[in-house]
Structure 1
Amino acid sequence: MRIAFTKMHGLGNDFVVLDARAQALPPLTRAAVAALADRHTGIGCDQLIAIEPSTAADWRMRIFNADGGEVEACGNATRAVGLLIGGEVALETLGGTIVARPDPRGVAVDMGVPRFEWDRIPLAYPVDTLAMPVGYPVILADGSELTLENPVAVNVGNPHAVFFVPDTHAIPLAEIGPQIEHDPLFPERVNVNVATVTGRGAIDLRVWERGAGLTRACGTGACATAIAAMRCGLVDREVTVTLPGGPLVIAWRGDDRIVMTGPATVSFTGEFEWDDYA
């Protein structure tokens, strides 16, 4: 069975998008998704996205990380799907309904209302989600030791732990990210954000995504980090979050909803034989 795909990215966070609005897809097994996401033997991507019919919104967006696991939300992918479909569109996801609309700066996405309750992150037991009493020692490039501690927990459709550090680029995130992701404190695992506030309207950010690893950009990570910084009084209610792939503008509106704005791009289109990856 020949399957058409569109390769897209948002600030370098890249996706294989499968459109099942007109043509039904075979079952998206964990093994098939991981095979397609493999950068050496597949098409290669951080996430595979399927657009499907929905009874709850205009369309349904399913999101699979590179390891084949299905997840609740992906802000960059929402911008990409919004660009692909065009106009204003409501998308059903496992994390709730998300609305994307065109914007002069690319695509603006209404990411919904953040959640801070420990059992909605979720965490394994009750703790203060504004300053969780946990710490993770790391060795910096210069040989000195720093403890990543007291992270802020935020759920923006998926779970995030946000650490504020003096220099995000000095943190060996590829080493410490997997440890934090799989900490039993996070029963559904967690996305790990290390951020440096550089002004009332600016944050530098790097993200370890659960099931995907280091990515050039993470839309939900940018949202979670901005909200965490706002809750801590470190930034204003609109902030530019700069990731390795580029900037996103995050606003926390008066009605408690988060709006993320940034670019999305079509890289190329193609087809593959499903049986080669099933």
Structure 2
Amino acid sequence: MKIDFLKYQGTGNDFIMIDNREKKLTKVNFSCFKRLCNRHFGIGADGIILIQNDPNKDFYMKYYNSDGKESSMCGNGGRCAISFSKKLGITKNNKIYFRAIDGNHYGYIQNKGLVSIKMIDIKKNMIKLCSQHIYLNTGSPHNVIFVDNIKKIDVQKKGREIRLKKGVNVNFVELIGKNILKVRTYERGVENETLSCGTGVTASVIASYELKKIYKDQQVLVYTLGGKLWVSFKKEKNTYQKIYLTGSTKLIFEGWINI
């Protein structure tokens, strides 16, 4: 079966995007997704995103990690899905409403290729302060660990050890200025350090505020290996609300493949 695809990247987090509104892939063995994401024998990507019909929203985003398994929410993937849906003509304006595995999302396209996505609300009782890390779920589960020199961290080794023990994504965070962070992430499902992780960056910012490493609920700049992301939020009572993840997205190439 011939499948058309586009490949997008959001601050280095790259995805194979497939328009599945006509349900061409309903009978496909999804284990083939692992092969498609292979950087040596396939297209190469951190994951695969299917755009599907939704009765109440512009579309439904179905996300698979590069291990071929359906996974939890992907923030950068959501931003790329917004750009992809715009190219497909699903919506004629720059405001997009869609649904993913963790619930409803709203996004919009700004100037200069920047795309913002509204993440899920996070209640304070969902944040767990531990002796060596802070845990929270921003659509995907994350451990956040603060370090003094992020360049010296062996993310592949240390991140994998924690991931295998705890079953979570692992973020190493360094505060480098007023409301400015550096973040490196080991992603489960990819089983490697990625150039960027949207839900991980969001978790890192919320954890930083919770521990009073940043003091004002305003836009925070985050440097990842793949580029810059911005996170804004409001904390009202015991809930983090209006959480927006913003960054660039780019169409890399398009093609087709036989499955």
TM-score (normalised: structure 2): 0.89
For the 8 Å contact 1:29–1:68, the answer to whether it is kept is no
2:245 aligned to which of 260, 265, 278: 260
Q: Distance in 2 between matches of 1:27 and 1:10?
A: 29
Q: How does 1:1-278 map to 2 (within 5 A)?
A: 1-22=1-22, 24-27=24-27, 29-86=29-86, 87-104=94-111, 106-117=114-125, 129-130=128-129, 132-133=130-131, 150-183=132-165, 186=166, 189-212=167-190, 213-235=192-214, 236-237=216-217, 238-254=219-235, 256-274=241-259
For the 8 Å contact 2:128–2:135, the answer to whether it is kept is yes
Q: Distance in 1 between matches of 2:255 and 2:125?
A: 43
Q: How many angstroms does 1:35 deviate by?
A: 0.9
For structure 1, the 5+ residue unaligned runs are: 119-127, 134-149
Amino acid at match of 1:271: W
Q: How many angstroms does 1:27 deviate by?
A: 4.0
For the 8 Å contact 1:166–1:196, the answer to whether it is kept is yes
Q: Distance in 1 between matches of 2:43 and 2:12?
A: 15
Is the deviation greater in 52-61 or in 3-12?
52-61
Amino acid at match of 1:226: V
TM-score (normalised: structure 1): 0.83
SS of 2:221 mapped into structure 1: strand
Counterpart of 1:140 in structure 2 is: none
For the 8 Å contact 1:33–1:68, the answer to whether it is kept is yes
Counterpart of 2:90 in structure 1 is: none
For structure 2, the 5+ residue unaligned runs are: 87-93
Counterpart of 1:125 in structure 2 is: none
Is the deviation greater in 87-96 or in 154-163?
87-96
Deviations 1:139-159 (A, max 9, x none): xxxxxxxxxxx2111101110
Structure 1 residues 29 and 113: alpha-carbon distance in aligned structure 2, compared to 1, 3 A threshold: farther
Q: How many angstroms does 1:96 deviate by?
A: 1.2
Amino acid at match of 1:250: V
Is the deviation greater in 89-98 or in 42-51?
89-98
Q: How many angstroms does 1:100 deviate by?
A: 1.2
Q: How many angstroms does 1:207 deviate by?
A: 0.3
For the 8 Å contact 2:31–2:69, the answer to whether it is kept is no
Q: Give the share of equivalent positions with the same residue, in percent.
A: 30
Amino acid at match of 1:247: K
Q: Distance in 2 between matches of 1:175 and 1:27?
A: 38
SS of 1:226 mapped into structure 2: helix
Cα RMSD (Å): 1.6
Q: How many angstroms does 1:57 deviate by?
A: 2.2
SS of 2:117 mapped into structure 1: strand
Amino acid at match of 1:233: K
